[in-house]
Amino acid sequence: MSSSRGYENVESRLVALTQKLLDKTTAGAISWQATDSENAYSYSTTRSSVLIDGKYDNDQDFVGGIEVLNDRGTAIERLRTDFETKAEVADPESRILAENTRYFKGPYNELIEDLFEAARRSALDIDGIIDGLMSDLEEEG
C-alpha cells in the first residue's frame, strides 16, 4: 500500500512542518533543548527529531535552517535559508559585481528565523530567566 504523501512536494511539507513547530513552540506546547553547538537546538519525539541552527552574518542577515533526523539520528531532509543575487556585472572579465548589487531573501527565510528565535527562547528558558530577575528585583524593593 503506497501513500499519496510520497508524491507531494517535500519542500512544501517541510515548510508546513516548520510552521507547525513554530506554532507549537510559541504556544508553549513543545520544548526545545540546547545542543553541543552554541547556535543549534533540538526537538525530539520517539520516532524522529528536528535540529535548527542559525546565526547572523556580517550584514545581519539570518542564515540557518532545519534538519529532520530519523530515529537513528540520520539527517533525511533539510530546509535552509536562501539568498538570491540580482546584480549587474561591472567587469565581465573579472566578474566584479557592480555597486548596485541587491540581495533578495528566499521565501522561507523569515519563517526559519522565527522558528530559530522561538526554539532559542525555549531551550535557554529566556522568558523564565527574565521573569525570575523581575521577581527578584521586586522582592528587593
The pLDDT assigned to 22 comes to 98
Enumerate the domain spans of the chain: 4-139
| Three-state secondary structure call for residue 51 | strand
The pLDDT assigned to 92 comes to 53
Please give the chain's pLDDT, 141 residues, in tens: 444 555 569 999 999 999 999 999 999 999 999 999 999 999 999 999 999 999 998 888 899 999 999 999 999 999 999 877 655 445 555 555 555 555 677 889 999 999 999 999 999 999 999 999 999 999 886
Rg over CA atoms, the chain: 20
Phi, psi of 14 (to 5 degrees): -65, -35
The pLDDT assigned to 99 comes to 53
Query: Do 64 and 52 meet the contact criterion of CB atoms below 8 Å apart?
Result: yes
